[in-house]
Structure 1
Amino acid sequence: MKITKEIVTKTAHLARLSFNEKDERQMVEDLQKMVDWVDKLKEVDTEGVAPLIGMSTEINAFREDMASNQLSREKALKNAPRQDSEYFRVPKVIN
């Protein structure tokens, strides 16, 4: 696949990116190198090689998801800079 200036321009527009002329030329070169490298991988003989499903051999340790109150309201509010009886008070951020 040949990476052209038009492909980079369209992709940059979709990603809401902007490049100056110098950076755009560099992006074309860099993307072309990436595509060439992936094309080079097609030459590798993978006959008899099992597909890699994951990068880690670790097993997830699942646990039961049980809700519980770990912290009382009083303890939670103890270090609050501002509070209003049972609630945290925060500055208004929306008009």
Structure 2
Amino acid sequence: MRHFLLVALPLASLLAAAGCGKTECEKYADMEWKCGNYPAKEEAITRQMAQGMCVGAKDLKDDELGLGAKFKAEAECAKKHDDCAGYKACTDAIK
């Protein structure tokens, strides 16, 4: 029984970790950083701002300027595309 636990527990934790992917907003922040041509020293703030805008867009009730809808649509583009060309084409089509 002990041998079973020594093998099963690490395997179970690996399987659980494999199911834990990035959130939609984390993926959006990744793509904004990857495809945005920002200076390296601005990586942390760029990722934080992109993720914050994405999260905030989900909670908007009144969106008079349409910014919430724009960030939501861009986050969808990040979910669909892993390459910058596809991501840029998708986000450019929103504007």
The structure number with the bigger radius of gyration is: 1
Q: Which protein is richer in strand relative to its size?
A: 1
TM-score of the superposed pair, with normalisation by structure 1: 0.32
TM-score of the superposed pair, with normalisation by structure 2: 0.32
Relative contact order (C-alpha < 8 Å, sep 6+): which is higher? Answer: 2
- Pick the structure with more helix per residue: 2
